[in-house]
């Protein structure tokens, strides 16, 4: 589940999910909807703050590049996944209750445009919490609503996706929900994530995926590097070490582990894990101030 996945994530999920699960969830994973990492989420108590500028995975043929203005606001993102390339301009606006970030899609080929939202708006509250993401194009609209508990932990994301027909009539095409569970009221690292969605056109939301996670105690870029939500979307403070993943309808279980290296400021610069039995590595770069 997750409407905020990009072409990069579609490539990754082909290696993460078995064929049956991919066919079941193809429509929702094919959609593009912008998710970003707020730079403040990776600021530290150290003298320098590091802003992520690139993510490259050479073996998968994917890359993401981010640029910022002098105030460290995100201004542009460029994505490459195989032969497909997309670029976005980004503006940040203050609101009465926080701020919002607007992603506008640049010129793309027709094949890429078919899976892309032309404009996406991410809305944050005054506490820098992501509250709402809305995206639209001429033929589709998607939303994600984020909910938090009294301990400021993310506990639920509600997702809806709508399509417009030739006459302009809008209809619900897909919906889902992600539920986060924590071992205590202090941590920002969810120990379990349950993903619900529509299955075989049956009424109601069914459990599709179940993640059981463990973490290190190091500073995380997290899965939420700009435009790379990844399959887990933990929004965690620390880095995931292990993931026990159950794809419920496919009756498939996958155990994944991750290894990291860090720069002098304590930010991850590489993450190594297995895809289709082979090791693959995400490489991160930063602008540290």
Question: Closest Cα to residue 143, out of 155, 131, 125?
Answer: 131
**80-86: long-range contacts, CB 8 A cutoff, minimum separation 24:** 81/6, 81/7, 81/8, 81/10, 81/11, 82/7, 82/11, 84/7, 84/109, 84/111, 84/112, 85/112, 86/6, 86/7, 86/32, 86/112, 86/116
**In this predicted structure, what is the pLDDT of residue 132?**
93
Contact 239, 220 (CB under 8 A): yes
Domain residues of the chain, as ranges?
7-282
Higher pLDDT pick, 43 / 66: 66
In Å, how far are 45, 105, 107, 160 from 137, measured between CA atoms? 40, 10, 13, 15
Pairing between β-strand 84-95 and β-strand 74-81 as defined by DSSP bridges: antiparallel
| pTM score, whole prediction | 0.83
Q: Are 155 and 148 in contact (CB under 8 A)?
A: yes
Q: Is the pLDDT of residue 289 over 70?
A: yes
pLDDT recorded at residue 232 = 82
pLDDT tens digits for range 210-262: 999 999 999 887 545 555 556 688 889 999 999 999 999 889 999 999 999 99
* Rg (the chain; Cα; Å): 18
pLDDT greater than 80 at residue 209: yes
- Give residue-wise pLDDT tens across range 163-203: 888 888 888 888 999 999 999 999 999 999 999 999 888 88
CATH topology for 7-282 is Porin (2.40.160)
Tens digits of residue pLDDT in 118-133: 889 999 999 989 999 9
What pLDDT does 288 receive?
85
Is a pLDDT exceeding 50 seen at residue 156?
A: yes
Question: Could you report the per-residue pLDDT of 254-272, keeping only the tens digit for each?
Answer: 999 999 999 988 889 999 9
């Amino acid at each position: 589940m997750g409407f905020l996945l990009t072409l990069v994530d579609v490539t990754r999920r082909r290696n993460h999910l078995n064929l049956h699960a991919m066919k079941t969830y193809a429509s929702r994973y094919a959609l593009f909807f912008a998710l970003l990492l707020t730079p403040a989420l990776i600021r530290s108590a150290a003298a320098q703050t590091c802003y992520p500028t690139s993510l490259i995975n050479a073996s998968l043929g994917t890359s993401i590049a981010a640029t910022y203005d002098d105030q460290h606001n995100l201004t542009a993102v460029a994505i490459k996944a195989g032969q497909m390339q997309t670029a976005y301009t980004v503006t940040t606006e203050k609101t009465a209750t926080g701020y919002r970030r607007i992603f506008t899609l640049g010129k793309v080929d027709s094949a890429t445009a078919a899976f892309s939202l032309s404009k996406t708006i991410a809305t944050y509250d005054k506490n820098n919490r992501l509250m709402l993401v809305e995206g639209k194009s001429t033929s589709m609209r998607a939303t994600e609503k984020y909910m938090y508990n009294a301990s400021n932990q993310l506990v639920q994301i509600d997702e809806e996706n709508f399509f417009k027909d030739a006459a302009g009539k809008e209809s619900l095409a897909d919906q889902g929900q992600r539920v986060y569970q924590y071992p205590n009221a202090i941590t920002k690292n969810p120990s379990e994530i349950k993903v619900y969605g529509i299955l075989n056109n049956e009424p109601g939301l069914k459990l599709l995926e179940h993640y059981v996670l463990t973490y290190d105690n190091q500073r995380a870029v997290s899965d939420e590097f700009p435009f790379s939500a990844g399959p887990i979307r933990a929004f965690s403070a620390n880095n995931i070490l292990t993931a026990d993943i159950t794809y419920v309808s496919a009756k498939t279980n996958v155990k994944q582990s991750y290894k990291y290296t860090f720069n002098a400021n304590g930010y991850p610069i590489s993450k190594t894990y297995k895809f289709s039995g082979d090791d693959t590595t995400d490489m991160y770069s930063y602008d540290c101030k």
